[in-house]
Every structure is written in structure tokens, then in C-alpha cells.
Amino acid sequence: MFISCEDNVGNEDPLSEFGSIAGTVTFSGTWPNSGEVLITLDTNYPPQGPPAGFSYITNTDLVENAYNYSFSNLSFRDYNAITVTYWPEGYVTAGTNYSLIGSYLETISVTQDDADKTVDIDAMFN
């Protein structure tokens, strides 16, 4: 026999099960003719291991030199960096031929009580 009940007194919103970090990357400078641009969310900085989230950015993704990003379904924890990098020869995990063109290098705490964060970043091509 299985019996259960729900104790939902009042009109409180249910707590989040996952968090998100979203924002806008604003680019300046001339977008390159080749290579790849990548935005990553990392739990450590400098990065150690695979990122918690990533996305490729192309110039066709931009609206007035801005790219809106979102990392969703995130575990509740601290994230220590969002980086925007340019890889002139394309993304190669073993390679180090890239340039950091924008970043947010402060701890972002995603918690059940504060699950949705907004972080805007400026990125500049040289």
C-alpha cells in the first residue's frame, strides 16, 4: 500500500530544479574571414577539462554586433569563467592557437534561490 499527500500551503512558487546563465556578447572590431569563435562556460579558470557549456558563434548570429547566449539546465554550483575565444585555424582541443577576445572571470553562483543569472560581455577583435 502506498499513501502520499501534498503539503502545498499558500501560493509560493516552486523552487527551481536547474539554473541558467544568459546575456549578450557585444563585439567590436572586424569579424575575421576564417576561423571560429567560441563561447564557453567553465567551472574553473584557467579551464581544466571540458566546459560546462559552449556554443559556436558566427557573424550571421549577430544582431547589431551583439550575440545573445544562454546556458540552461545548469547544476547548482559555482561557475568561474565565461570566455569568448577566437580560433584562427578552427577549434582544435589539443591546440593552443587561439585568442581570448572577451571574458567574465568572476565566480557566478547558481543556486536554487538565485537560479537565473545575467552576464553581459564585451569582446574585441584586434
Digit-coded pLDDT (tens) for 50-68: 999 999 999 999 999 999 9
Q: Is 44's pLDDT higher than 60?
A: yes
Q: Is 84's pLDDT higher than 90?
A: yes
Grid coordinates belonging to 86: 577566437
Q: Is 31's pLDDT higher than 90?
A: yes
Q: In which residue are the cell numbers 550571421 written?
A: 60
Q: Is 93's pLDDT higher than 80?
A: no
Grid coordinates belonging to 29: 572590431
Task: Answer for the pair 74, 18: CB distance below 8 angstroms, yes or no.
Answer: yes
pTM of structure: 0.84
Domains and CATH numbers, the chain: 19-124 (2.60.40.1120)
Separation between Cα atoms, residue 11 and residue 99, nearest integer Å: 49
